[in-house]
Amino acid sequence: ETAAARKSMWFDENQTLAANDPIRVKKPARGAVYPIFVGDELAGTLAIGKSTRNRSAGLRAFSSSESLAIEAFAQFLAIQIANARAHQEEISERVIARELEMAGTIQRSLLLKELPDLAGMELAAHCQSAHHVGGDFYDVLKTSDDSALLVIADVMGKGVLAAMFAAILRAVLRATPELTDRKSVV
């Protein structure tokens, strides 16, 4: 009810609570439930109750100063939840940045530093990913003094996995001698 109404609520032993209500399990005589908001989003509720009956307190279980302290604590919890979420987002962003950096290193390592010399040809190459990093790469496998096998690949996906797949593909291509055998190249 507190979450739906978006305001604190008081309860006492005369109220009938739902069977699955967590407050009912503890059976406090009186208390209050405070909503905890992070911005406009409900992050939870804080329920505090007293198990002893205090007739002099009237309908409320807590004095005005106790109520203010509890409300301040609920606001403090909201700040702590917001800080924890922000910290988690920062950690996630750092992990993603590190993965992109690793994938970029992998991708750059796949690109040839120097293209082979071929009689009667000049070769030049440039590769730039549309995104930060991916599985795009090229390779030139020299098959003879005047011919080469040009490999251009665009591995589906982005990031570390695509870059790793591209690295594996390149290794397989370079480890397959039939590809550089002029007789078997079409």
Per residue in 153-174, pLDDT (tens digit) is 877 777 778 778 888 888 888 8
Successive 10-residue mean pLDDT values, the chain, 186 residues: 82 73 72 88 87 57 84 91 94 89 77 84 79 74 83 76 81 77 52
pTM over 0.95: no
Closest CA to 107 of 170, 36, 26, 150: 170
Determine the pLDDT at residue 164: 80
Distance CA 181, CA 175 (A): 12
- Secondary-structure percent of the chain, ordered helix, strand, coil, rounded to 5: 40, 25, 30
Determine the pLDDT at residue 186: 45
Determine the pLDDT at residue 80: 93
